[in-house]
């Protein structure tokens, strides 16, 4: 028998991991990265601009240096490349809207994770007194909604090109992205496949920003926007449908309703492209998907799944040929073909 004590590294790391996330959230919320977008500044200058205590702000800035979000030269702080790209509101790739949502909403929902595990459902009522995961309660004005959608757009810019490249989609002529938000997946697909036409199909509230974002791309002439609800309205005609970060939001019953509707609308040889992060078959990795599945528990009706679990759902509605491909981005790709 050995007297060796187990390595505490994993416990110690996780014990303070939430502090690292909150450091980034707080710096975004306070406007640190936006204030440094134009030039490096000293802590005293930043404290005056941000209405913050100079000593306390200095500790936050030093922590951000340690996290790789800021750089320090002498007494001056500057944004690191990742912060300039993703944490500044003037960047086209910004994730700030989703980070604000994470800080103001998800942070509090995750505080009730124990309740979600005991009860098996989301914690909106327990956390905020709301009757359900109603984003309107968070989007208290148009600016908040726009910033959140732009944060999701930045997320899409990371993932959508790799999803569009995961399979050879050159045989398809028209893709309809259901719940396509700002159109990042439709745009990425059209940029990769010159003969492809695309429709972004989303709720009326999402349409204006989608048109704005698409108009600024090189494929604006091949991507249109149509307002509608994919659960209740007829789907636009297509030989390829796409759902990105959609299925993991819903119960199995709702997923089967949507998948059945897509299958019925497709011609023979048509397909459905799914963009979700797949759990491995043992459900031990990847960590991103494991954490996202818990996130779905506290804030939606859904969860993350393995490829085999997606195949079961797709087979139930008539898809016989289903293949999954992993990507290096936060989303993987699944292609289901109708025969």
Instruction: Give the whole-angstrom CA distance, residue 290 versus residue 295.
Output: 9
User: What is the Cα–Cα distance from 180 to 214, expressed in whole angstroms?
Assistant: 11
Same domain as 151, residue 15: no
Residue 141: the pLDDT is 75
Both 74 and 153 in one domain: the answer is: no
Pairing of strands 332-337, 271-276: antiparallel
Q: Are residues 75 and 162 in the same domain?
A: no
SS3 state at 234 = coil
Supply the pLDDT for residue 291. Answer: 98
Q: What is the dihedral of CA 169, 174, 243, 281, to 10 degrees?
A: -20
pLDDT of 139 reads 65
Residues in a beta bridge with 186: none
What pLDDT was estimated at residue 142? 82
Q: Judge if 209 and 328 occupy the same domain.
A: yes
Note whether residue 111 is domain-resident. Answer: no
Whether the ω angle into residue 286 lies within 30 degrees of 0, i.e. cis, is yes
**3-class DSSP state for residue 128?**
helix
- Asked whether residue 263 is assigned to any structural domain, the reply reads yes
Structural domain count of the chain: 2
> How many other CB atoms are there within 10 angstroms of residue 252's CB atom?
16
Residue 291: which CATH number?
Answer: 3.40.50.150
Rounded Cα distance between 66 and 57, Å, is 14
DSSP code for 279: B
Q: What is the CATH number of the domain that holds 57?
A: 1.10.10.10
Is 145 inside any structural domain? Answer: yes
Strand-pair partners of 175: 198, 240
Residue 95 lies in a domain: no
Residue 122 annotated as catalytic: no
- Host domain of residue 157: 137-337
Residues 172 and 283 in one domain: yes
122 Cβ contact list (under 8 Å, min separation 6):
109, 116, 132, 133, 297, 298, 299, 300, 301
Does residue 163 sit within a domain?
A: yes
Alpha carbon distance 299, 123 (integer Å):
6
186: in domain: yes
Residues of the chain with pLDDT under 50: none
In three-state secondary structure terms, 297 is helix
Give the whole-angstrom CA distance, residue 126 versus residue 101.
18
Do 184 and 249 share a domain, yes or no?
yes
Domain boundary at 71, 86, 101, which?
Answer: 86
Query: Which residues face 227 on adjacent strands?
Result: 202
Residues 313 and 242 in one domain: yes
Using DSSP's 3-state secondary structure scheme, residue 324 falls into: strand
Do residue 297 and residue 164 come from a single domain?
A: yes
For the chain, where are the E strands, in sequence order?
A: 41-42, 70-73, 76-79, 174-178, 197-202, 223-227, 240-244, 271-276, 321-325, 332-337
For residue 156, what are its two tokens? Answer: 């899409």
Same domain, 42 and 153: no
3-class DSSP string for 37-106: CCCCEEHHHHHHHHCCCHHHHHHHHHHHHHCCCEEEECCEEEECHHHHHHCCCCCCCCCHHHHHHHHHHH
Bin 334: left if φ > 0, else alpha if -120 < ψ < 50, else beta.
beta
Is the Cβ–Cβ distance between 94 and 149 less than 8 Å? no
Q: Are residues 72 and 142 located together in one domain of the fold?
A: no
Q: What angle do CA 73, 76, 80 make, to 5 degrees?
A: 70
Name the percent of the chain lying above pLDDT 70: 97
In the prediction, which pLDDT does 148 show?
Answer: 85
pTM as predicted: 0.93
Residue 105 placed within a domain? no
pLDDT tens digit string along 72-108?
999 999 999 999 999 999 999 999 999 999 999 999 9
Residue 102 lies in a domain: no
Helix or strand run (H / E) with residue 198: strand 197-202
The SS3 call for residue 226 is strand
Q: Tokens 């699944």 — which residue? A: 334
Catalytic site residue from 122, 153, 248, 263: 248
């Amino acid at each position: 028998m050995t007297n060796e004590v187990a390595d505490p590294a994993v416990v110690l790391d996780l014990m303070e991991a939430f502090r690292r996330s909150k450091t980034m959230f707080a710096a975004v919320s306070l406007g640190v990265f936006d204030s440094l977008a134009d030039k490096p500044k000293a802590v005293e200058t930043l404290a005056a601009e941000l209405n913050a205590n100079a000593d306390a702000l200095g500790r936050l800035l030093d922590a951000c240096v340690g996290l790789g979000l800021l750089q320090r030269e002498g007494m001056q702080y500057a944004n690191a490349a990742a912060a300039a790209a993703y944490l500044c509101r003037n960047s086209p790739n910004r994730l700030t809207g989703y980070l604000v949502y994470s800080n103001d909403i998800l942070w509090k929902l995750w505080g009730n994770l124990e309740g979600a595990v005991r009860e098996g459902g989301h914690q909106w009522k327990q956390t905020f007194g709301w009757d359900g995961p109603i984003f309107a309660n968070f989007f208290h004005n148009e600016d908040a909604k726009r910033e959140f959608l732009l944060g999701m757009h930045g997320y899409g810019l990371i993932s959508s090109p790799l999803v569009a490249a995961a399979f050879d989609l050159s045989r398809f002529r028209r893709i309809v992205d259901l719940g396509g938000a700002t159109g990042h997946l439709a745009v990425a697909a059209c940029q990769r496949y010159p003969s492809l036409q695309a429709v972004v199909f989303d709720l009326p509230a999402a349409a204006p920003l989608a048109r704005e974002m698409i108009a600024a791309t090189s494929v604006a002439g091949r991507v249109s926007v149509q307002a509608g609800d994919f659960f209740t309205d007829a789907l636009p005609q297509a030989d390829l449908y796409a759902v990105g970060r959609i299925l993991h939001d819903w119960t199995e019953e709702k997923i089967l309703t949507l998948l059945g509707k897509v299958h019925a609308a497709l011609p023979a040889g048509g397909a459905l492209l799914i963009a979700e992060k797949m759990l491995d078959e043992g459900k031990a990795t990847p960590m991103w998907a494991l954490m996202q599945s818990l996130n779905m528990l506290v804030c939606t009706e859904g969860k993350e799944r393995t490829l085999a679990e997606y195949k079961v759902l797709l087979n139930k509605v008539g898809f016989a040929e289903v293949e999954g491909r992993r990507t290096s981005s936060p989303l993987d790709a699944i292609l289901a073909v109708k025969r």
